[in-house]
Chains A and B, each alone.
Chain A
């Protein structure tokens, strides 16, 4: 068997990301034929096979980043050419220290193979686990990935004890990790239990007092290597960009948030009355959001600076009122824009919201849909939040957050009443907007919502 290692593609390079296997386990590969691809700093490199043979094992999955010289796979030279050998696991020819003097001589064990001293050290395997018999275990365990097989072998895990959650109850790497951390927890419990369970008859207090103190270092000495406590996963590009944008925004703007308690009872009543008919007529439900947008648009007309942006030392007042709506995606968020929101009524706004959020989730947004926003609204209330402090969507200068509408007892004219209350949180850029103006603006939004004329939809 020849080890295939992560090559060093330059002096300063310490690791590489394996992006693609060009051969599958069991496939024949010629010497110098491209075997896999790695990626380092905008460079994709094809790595040729160090020897001809059959790719026996793939030890590093696609997408993983490993240190240079890590063994990423093994090639079996002895398997004749063209031998497809799908029963890779079964035939395990004498894995003697043959370590052939092939192109990858530096054996490179260190990174991959912590040869499981940790787990076996402390005490006999946990009650349920019989002696590790990997070979036998694999027979019952069904098809296994090379990685799982390798982990089981290295950590001496009986795969019959592991519950598979993959396709067809297949055991995955996560299953193994979960199993190992469960085992780890059990051994820890056992380790710390005995001292307190066997109190010294002479000085019970002393023992008890000391137990906790000693149990802490005892636990720290427990094997940590057996179960990874964290999983490393590269960010998606969208995540990276969101991260950059958020930090940039926090750096650029002087964020301040002001919160106004708003009585949404009139809107709630109106919504209640119209709900069924609206649903029937338009095919989607009527939410609070279009009311808030309509109110914000009205307030913006009165306080146009909230709809501005900053360029150098100039204030850019936008003539259009284009409202960005934060839409949560499965793994991120996007802020599509309702253009000329001031030209739409509540029905039109609701239609735009439904249209944009649907297309955002199905990735059908056009470039125009996400550009040119002049003010944003985020509806964290739909996830149950009462109030939050949103981050400004640059280059805008304010964002309005809408909290959940909840029936709340309030005092009106010295009487207690039940009203539908929501908190409106305006985050504004204090470089441009002062607190007084921010509060005037938010009060205006509040007052429009509180005095909503019930006839107008």
Chain B
């Protein structure tokens, strides 16, 4: 209980709205650099991407079922990425969170970090009436045996980037482009799980729980900075 007496560290939450994957990467890169230099406090970026399939550093191209032609015709971008994990899909109706935090100020433990991110999502879903949990050996958040949120993280000198993607009202059919023939575990969304919580509400719940688990105090007072970012990159 000693920790709770310590002062909460500041954290800025920025809801950047809809943003292309490459632009979000550029913003993260910039913020990571600033965070390493101690110029800014911890950050939680929330974005929504247009259709994009991204492949983690250790991903396998064979999990991309469609060739690039088909993706192009379907209006889906393809983007290799330096996060952990394999292939995944982002798109409208998904809440993507990119925490840029310095783990030296929390716990120097990457696994604890991933577990905490899972807990943030599990708790936020719980508040929205969805009972979700973990599946042994399968990082992410699961409900009814289906994956509702995916996690992939990159860490450089204990500063995090990338993060999680929670299917809110995602059109799940887009996941077909990356799963060979039902040989994988199915995905689901909050909507499919019967929740009608709005995007704003779930983002608020995520932010609140994020602050709780990482012992942070949230602020939103740099919204102009957010605006200037989106202008620069969109």
Binding site for B on A (CB under 8 A): 9-13, 17, 19-20, 32, 34, 37, 39-46, 48, 236-238, 241-242, 244-245, 334-335, 363-367, 370-371, 373, 394-395
CB distance from A125 to the nearest CB of B (A): 41
Contact of A41 among B56, B83, B114, B176 (CB under 8 A): B114
Interchain CB contact under 8 A, A34 and B183: no
Contact of B57 among A13, A20, A394 (CB under 8 A): A20
Interchain CB contact under 8 A, A10 and B153: no
CA distance A277 to B38 in the complex (A): 77
CB distance from A50 to the nearest CB of B (A): 13
Q: How many residues of B contact A (CB 8 A)?
A: 40
CA distance A10 to B113 in the complex (A): 9
CA distance A241 to B86 in the complex (A): 13
Interchain CB contact under 8 A, A44 and B57: yes
Binding site for A on B (CB under 8 A): 56-60, 62-63, 65-67, 70, 82-86, 107-114, 139, 151-157, 176-177, 180-185
Q: Beyond A10-B112, A37-B57, A236-B60, is A46–B183 a contact (Cβ under 8 Å)?
A: no
Query: Which B residues lie within 8 Å of A39 (CB)?
Result: 57-58, 84
Interchain CB contact under 8 A, A334 and B57: no
Interchain CB contact under 8 A, A42 and B155: no
Interchain CB contact under 8 A, B57 and A40: no
CA distance A39 to B83 in the complex (A): 9
CA distance A365 to B63 in the complex (A): 12
CA distance A39 to B63 in the complex (A): 19
Query: Which B residues lie within 8 Å of A42 (CB)?
Result: 84-85, 114, 139, 151-153
A43-B113, A44-B155, A363-B62 known; 13 new pairs, CB 8 Å cut-off, are A10-B108, A10-B111, A37-B57, A40-B111, A41-B111, A42-B151, A43-B111, A43-B153, A44-B57, A44-B153, A45-B154, A46-B155, A244-B185
Query: Which A residues lie within 8 Å of B185 (CB)?
Result: 244
CA distance A126 to B118 in the complex (A): 57
CA distance A439 to B60 in the complex (A): 42
CA distance A19 to B59 in the complex (A): 11
Interface centre among B56, B82, B155, B176 (most CB of A within 10 A): B155
CB distance from A41 to the nearest CB of B (A): 6
CA distance A373 to B176 in the complex (A): 14
Contact of A46 among B86, B112, B152, B157 (CB under 8 A): B157
Query: Which A residues lie within 8 Å of B182 (CB)?
Result: 245, 371, 394-395
Query: Which A residues lie within 8 Å of B85 (CB)?
Result: 42
Residue of B nearest to A238 (CB): B62
CA distance A17 to B56 in the complex (A): 14
Interchain CB contact under 8 A, A44 and B58: yes
CA distance A40 to B108 in the complex (A): 14
Residue of B nearest to A236 (CB): B60
Q: Beyond A42-B152, A237-B62, A241-B184, is A367–B56 a contact (Cβ under 8 Å)?
A: no
CA distance A245 to B109 in the complex (A): 33
Interchain CB contact under 8 A, B58 and A45: no
CA distance A394 to B183 in the complex (A): 9
Interchain CB contact under 8 A, A19 and B58: yes
Interchain CB contact under 8 A, A364 and B67: yes
CB distance from B67 to the nearest CB of A (A): 6
Interface centre among A17, A20, A44, A245 (most CB of B within 10 A): A44
